[in-house]
Amino acid sequence: MEKQILLSTPHLGDLELEFVKEAFDTNWIAPVGPHLAAFEQEFCQAIGAAHGAAVSSGTAALHLALQLVGVQPGDEVICSTLTFTASANPIRYCGATPLFIDSDRQSWNMDPGLLHRTLAQRARLGKLPKAVVLVHLYGQSADITPILAACNEYAIPLIEDAAESLGATYQGRSPGTFGQIGIFSFNGNKIITTSGGGMLVSADPELTEKARFLATQARDPAPHYQHSELGYNYRLSNILAGVGRGQLRVLSQRVEARRHNFEFYQHQLAHLPGLEFMPEAAYGRASRWLTCLTIDAEKFGCDREQIRLALAARQIEARPVWKPLHLQPIFAGCPVIGGPISEDLFERGLCLPSGSNLSLEDLERVCAAISACYRG
Residue extents of the structural domains in the chain: 16-248, 251-373
pLDDT tens-digit readout, 260-302: 999 999 999 999 999 999 999 999 999 999 999 999 999 999 9
Question: Predicted confidence band at 2 (pLDDT cuts at 50, 70, 90)?
Answer: confident
Question: Predicted confidence band at 232 (pLDDT cuts at 50, 70, 90)?
Answer: very high
Edge to edge, what strands does the sheet with 291-295 contain? 275-277, 291-295, 349-352, 319-320
pLDDT at 1: 78
Topology, domain 251-373: Aspartate Aminotransferase, domain 1 (3.90.1150)
Question: Predicted confidence band at 376 (pLDDT cuts at 50, 70, 90)?
Answer: confident
pLDDT tens-digit readout, 142-191: 999 999 999 999 999 999 999 999 999 999 999 999 999 999 999 999 99
Question: Predicted confidence band at 198 (pLDDT cuts at 50, 70, 90)?
Answer: very high
Average pLDDT of the chain to the nearest whole number: 97
pLDDT at 369: 98
DSSP string, 67-127: HHTT--TT-EEEEESSS-GGGTHHHHHTT-EEEEEPBPTTTSSB-HHHHHHHHHHHHHHT-
pLDDT tens-digit readout, 98-123: 999 999 999 999 999 999 999 999 99
Supply the CATH classification number for the domain 16-248.
3.40.640.10
Q: Is 58 left (phi over 0), alpha (psi -120 to 50) or beta?
A: alpha
pLDDT tens-digit readout, 205-230: 999 999 999 999 999 999 999 999 99
pLDDT at 278: 98
Residue 319's DSSP bridge partners are 351
